[in-house]
Structure 1
Amino acid sequence: MAYVVTAPCFGCKYTDCVVVCPCDCFREGEQMLYIAPDECTDCDACRAECPVDAIYYEDDVPEAWKEFVPLNREMAEICPSIVDRKEPNARRDANS
């Protein structure tokens, strides 16, 4: 099991969660972040840091967002690792 990034991250990409991850399991996609499930140690550090409440333990992902479980696995294999804080997407900030 692992933590999963879900719908609220789409279009914002806050990276507060990335900098607290002790195993560097976050990946950066074009529109959102993903967690590499085979690298996640379930430490729970990232969940509390997410300002949009997008991160859930795999078993706790809301039913409406269950498709994000396999999406994180799939995208983590092709997206580059991210370990440093970056500015969030301007589009999401402007809509906040």
Structure 2
Amino acid sequence: MTYVITAGCADIMDRACMEQCPVDAIVPGQRMAYINPADCIDCGACVPACPQNAVFAARLVPAELADYTAVNAEFFDGDGSTDHPRLAELVDRGL
């Protein structure tokens, strides 16, 4: 299991979660932060640190935000220099 950052982070990026991550698994993108599933040690320190309540354990991501699980994972499939192409669509839909 890993953790997933969802809609609450889009265009806000408070970065409190990054400060709490003991392994630096959380990185900023252009519009939100992302958790690298390969680096996440499942400690959960990011969850209470997020003032937007945007971080969930992967198995607990609400159904309406499920697309963010793929957005987080796929961000790291590329070079990490840009946000996932579906992010703008999700944000526009209010997700």
Question: Is 1:59 matched up with 2:55?
Answer: no
Q: Whole-Å Cα distance in 1 between the matches of residues 16 and 69 of structure 2?
A: 21
TM-score, normalised via structure 1 length: 0.79
Question: Equivalent pairs: percent with the same residue?
Answer: 34
Number of the residue aligned with 1:45: 45
Q: Whole-Å Cα distance in 2 between the matches of residues 6 and 17 of structure 1?
A: 13
TM-score, normalised via structure 2 length: 0.80
Cα RMSD (Å): 1.1
- Gap runs ≥5 in structure 2: 82-95
- Gap runs ≥5 in structure 1: 81-96
Question: 3-state SS of the aligned residue for 2:56?
Answer: strand
Number of the residue aligned with 2:75: 75
Deviation at 1:79, TM superposition (A): 2.5
